[in-house]
């Protein structure tokens, strides 16, 4: 749940719900949402917020009961239709907590639709808290006024992900060893179609992994400048450049 941009203006609060949204309908709130609206924001019955579910667009919604355990929203007019969005995947090696949280948050703000943790040889983090990543993605979507929330996949070994790679999707791989073309130049020559970004763990990719990656037709190794970036910086910087040059920062978006 996101803090409204102006903390004194709770009417700007946005809430992600899973229920279907339709004018005139009611949505029961789970304990977390009820606590947020009634205790954190101290909203009273009659207060207006916005809701979205990733499918039906954004609706005005009125709090009709404000008890901690049994709050509900009455759905008002649709404010925004569900916009089409490019299908962008981020593959990332799990890193330590603060940085993996940043990866989930920034990737959501930058339009990623699917977060895919991948286990590489030098991945040092054994357990990924998927529920936590999903909660961060929801909060980031609420805050950035996006009308969808990225899905969070269970972690898979890199080889498995590559073996199942769908036809037609380009995989941009952050190659810190200098084997890739500068990102901007590589994007200028990319064939049209959906894309994904892969960023390695703090220890980087093993040489054998990079060799294997480079052999796939769908892989485009890219360089992100002369400095070695932390994984979370590499994700944020690369996604910004790609969205700017071939993604939904431009008009029209590419895929």
Q: Which is nearer to ligand SAH, 49 or 224 (CB)?
A: 224
When binding is defined by CB under 6 A, the residue of 205, 213, 218, 241 that contacts ligand SAH is: 205
Check residue 223 for interaction with ligand SAH (CB under 6 A). Answer: yes
**Closest approach of ligand SAH to the CB of residue 90, in Å:** 12
Q: Check binding of 56 to ligand SAH (CB under 6 A).
A: no
Instruction: Answer whether 175's CB lies under 8 Å from 97's CB.
Output: no
Is residue 204 close enough to count as binding ligand SAH by CB under 6 A? Answer: yes
String of contacts with ligand SAH for each residue 164-203, x by CB under 6 A = ----------xxx----------------------xx-xx
**Are 192 and 255 in contact, with CB atoms under 8 Å apart?**
yes
Distant-in-sequence, close-in-space partners of 200: CB < 8 Å, separation ≥ 6? 93, 120, 122, 174, 176, 209, 231
Q: E strands, 46-106, where?
A: 48-52, 58-65, 72-80, 88-92
Interface pick for ligand SAH out of 13, 161, 231, 242 (rule CB under 6 A): 231
**Beta carbon of residue 126, minimum distance to ligand SAH (angstroms, whole number):** 18
C-alpha distances in angstroms, 241 versus 37, 87, 94, 104, 218?
Answer: 36, 16, 22, 17, 19
Residue 94 Cβ vs ligand SAH, minimum distance, rounded to whole Å: 12
Q: Does residue 224 bind ligand SAH (CB under 6 A)? A: yes
Single out the residue of 83, 184, 225, 250 in contact with ligand SAH (rule: CB under 6 A). Answer: 225
CB of 203 to ligand SAH, least distance (A): 6
Residue with structure tokens 């920062």?
249
Q: Which of 63, 234, 239, 246 binds ligand SAH (CB under 6 A)?
A: 234
Do residues 1 and 43 touch, judged by C-beta distance below 8 A?
Answer: no
Q: Taking CB under 6 A as the rule, does residue 161 contact ligand SAH?
A: no
Query: Out of 229, 245, 253, 254, which residue is the one contacting ligand SAH (CB under 6 A)?
Result: 229
Task: Write the DSSP symbol of residue 233.
Answer: H
- Go through 25-51 and write b for each residue having 16 or more CB atoms within 10 A of its CB, e for each that does not: eebebeeebbbbbbeebebeeebbbbb
Distances (CA, A) of 60 to 24, 25, 56: 11, 11, 12
By CB under 6 A, name the binding residues for ligand SAH.
174-176, 199-200, 202-205, 223-225, 227-229, 231, 234
């Amino acid at each position: 749940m996101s803090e409204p941009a102006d903390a004194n203006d709770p009417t700007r609060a946005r809430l992600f719900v899973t229920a279907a949204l339709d004018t005139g309908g009611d949505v029961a709130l789970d304990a977390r949402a009820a606590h947020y609206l009634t205790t954190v924001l101290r909203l009273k019955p009659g207060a207006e917020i916005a809701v979205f579910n990733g499918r039906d667009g954004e609706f005005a919604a009125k709090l009709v009961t404000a008890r901690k355990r049994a709050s509900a929203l009455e759905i008002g007019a649709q404010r925004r239709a569900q916009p089409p969005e490019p299908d962008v995947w981020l593959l990332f090696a799990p890193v330590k907590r603060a940085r993996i949280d940043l990866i989930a948050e920034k990737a959501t703000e930058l339009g990623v639709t699917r977060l895919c943790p991948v286990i590489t040889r030098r991945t040092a983090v054994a357990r990924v808290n998927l529920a936590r990543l999903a909660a961060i993605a929801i909060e980031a979507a609420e805050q950035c006024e996006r009308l969808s929330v990225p899905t969070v996949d269970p972690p898979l070994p890199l080889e498995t992900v590559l073996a199942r790679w769908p036809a037609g999707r380009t995989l941009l791989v952050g190659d810190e060893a200098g084997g890739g073309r500068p990102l901007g130049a590589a994007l200028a020559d990319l064939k049209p179609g959906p894309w994904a970004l892969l960023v390695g763990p703090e220890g980087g990719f093993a040489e054998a992994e990079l060799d294997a990656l480079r052999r796939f037709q769908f892989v485009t190794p890219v360089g992100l400048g002369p400095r070695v970036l932390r994984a979370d910086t590499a994700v944020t910087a690369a996604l910004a450049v790609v969205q700017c040059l071939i993604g939904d920062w431009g008009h029209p978006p590419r895929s």
